[in-house]
Amino acid sequence: MAVRTEHWSSSKLFILAAIGSAIGFGNIWRFPYVAYENGGGAFLIPYFIALFIAGIPLMLLELGMGSKSKAGPPQAFRDLIGKNKEWIGWLASIAALLIVLYYAVIIGWAVDYAFFSVNLDFAGNPEAFFFNDFLQITDGPFTFGAINWIIVFGLGIVWLWIYFSLFKGVRSVEKMVLVTVTVPWILIILFVANGFTLPGAMDGVAYYLTPDFGKLLDPDVWIAAFGQIFYTLSLAMGIMIAYASYLPEKVDITKSGIIICLANCFTSVFAGLAVFTTLGFLAFESGVPVSEVVTSGIGLAFIVYPAAISLFPVLPQVMGVLFFLMLVTLGVDSAFSLTEAVSTPIFDERPHLKRSTIIAILSVIFFVIGIFFATGAGLYWLDIIDHYINTFLLLIVGILEVLAVGYILGPVNLRDYLNRFSEWALKGWYDIILKVVIPLVLGILLVLNVYSEITSAYGGYDFTALAIGFVIVVILAPIAAVVLAKVMQGRRAEEE
């Protein structure tokens, strides 16, 4: 087992850091749209059922593995599951690496938009500004165009922020999350409060939360609920294993994990009020139904919201700066937690290395690779890579995790460890969830995603572009994980 020389100062700061990792862009733009599309207020029923029978158990699994092994994902799997399963941990860290490469670019967009908000540069035609003036998007994924130095500028600021968040280990993370978790929450509250003062706000709220209980009979709604819970909690990326490896002894991991999950999910629901009150206002100002302005993903953050901001009756510039500052702070703690999931295995293998130097090297390398997404074709490749990570890679890692713990380590061993200092002891139901429920649910999700991939081309992209994305994420990533595990095993054998 590894021995940690540094620990979180308190369980509260660990919880705050883990909440910061889990709460990200998805809480602002993905959850509200998914909720509306799948029954509005009624969606909260399958959503919270999914939280308790899949999200929390998998969160406790990862926290327990990290705390018990005192190591990052690869060594945690090697020590607890067996040396021939180390590659599963490397695969989780590779997933984190792939995500942070493009996720940092999106945060960089928000940095740029905070500057654009000063003069409302996006006013008039936010869609044309985003795609043509800002991204300078080309006509396809193989027409790369020039490097966009405005995006590179924002990306550079993000990687500087990530570096200063990590270069001193958990001590610097603790200081940073006091800002990157509390500031977004203050701003979300501000936007919700302001949203309810806008004309048309209640139309937006009604559109968001009006329950359609008939949707509960649709299995796709339940699949969407489990998928949203799985993605929103930063699971299967090695983050929670890495963070929990720095926990001191005698921490109530079960309570901590439940608090992290509930805080994340409450943020999603609450942030939806800020989104839909604003969309209701935009519909009122435009004289169209709310349904005509509702959108998801990038369109919500960088097109619809700027349009609404430019129409704000009071201080729209300030509201714009605050909104994009909120996006930056929401995103950056997720980004540095992803980087921590990559760096922790390095320090496990070579504990003598100087942290500040390694974090600097990783930041520079990831920044340079990220410039690829600052070309005119960057948005296409960002979308393709993100699709295959969320559709396949994270599900595969999650399935491997629960099968490894459920059938090799044994859920009783993990449960006994979690129960040592817990006020809420886990019982036999936890074993059933790990061995049966979660593998079954994630397996169904994976099969449905495979079927969808076969029957329709994602995003209308041509086969070549999709094939490249699939090969990188679904084929090369697992191969790289296995090779890394073999190389590390060989080096350790030589040193012994």
Q: Provide the residue ranges of all domains of the chain, joining segments of one domain with +.
A: 11-495
Residue found by looking up tokens 């084929």 in the block: 475
How many other C-beta atoms are found inside a 10 Å radius of the C-beta of residue 446? Answer: 16
Q: 11-495 belongs to which CATH class?
A: mainly alpha
1 pLDDT more than 60: no
**pLDDT digit string (tens) for 106-155?**
999 999 999 999 999 999 899 999 999 999 999 999 999 999 999 999 99
Which of 22-31, 179-188, 316-325 has the weakest average pLDDT? 22-31
Alpha-carbon separation of residue 411 from 241, 423, 431, 435 (angstroms): 16, 19, 5, 8
Q: Where is mean pLDDT largest: 228-242, 307-321, 395-409? A: 395-409
- Please name which of 8, 101, 180, 65 lies closest in space to residue 338, comparing C-alpha atoms: 101
pTM over 0.85: yes
Confidence bin at 3 (pLDDT 50/70/90):
low
Average pLDDT over residues 300-322: 90
**pLDDT digit string (tens) for 436-462?**
999 998 999 899 889 989 998 898 999
Confidence bin at 365 (pLDDT 50/70/90):
very high
Our measurement of the distance from residue 74's CA atom to the centroid of its chain's CA atoms, rounded to an integer in Å, reads 20
pLDDT for 2:
56
Confidence bin at 294 (pLDDT 50/70/90):
confident
Q: Where is mean pLDDT largest: 162-176, 297-311, 368-382? A: 368-382
**pLDDT digit string (tens) for 143-179?**
999 999 999 999 999 999 999 999 988 889 999 999 8
**Which percentage of the chain shows pLDDT scores above 90?**
71
How many other C-beta atoms are found inside a 10 Å radius of the C-beta of residue 355? Answer: 17
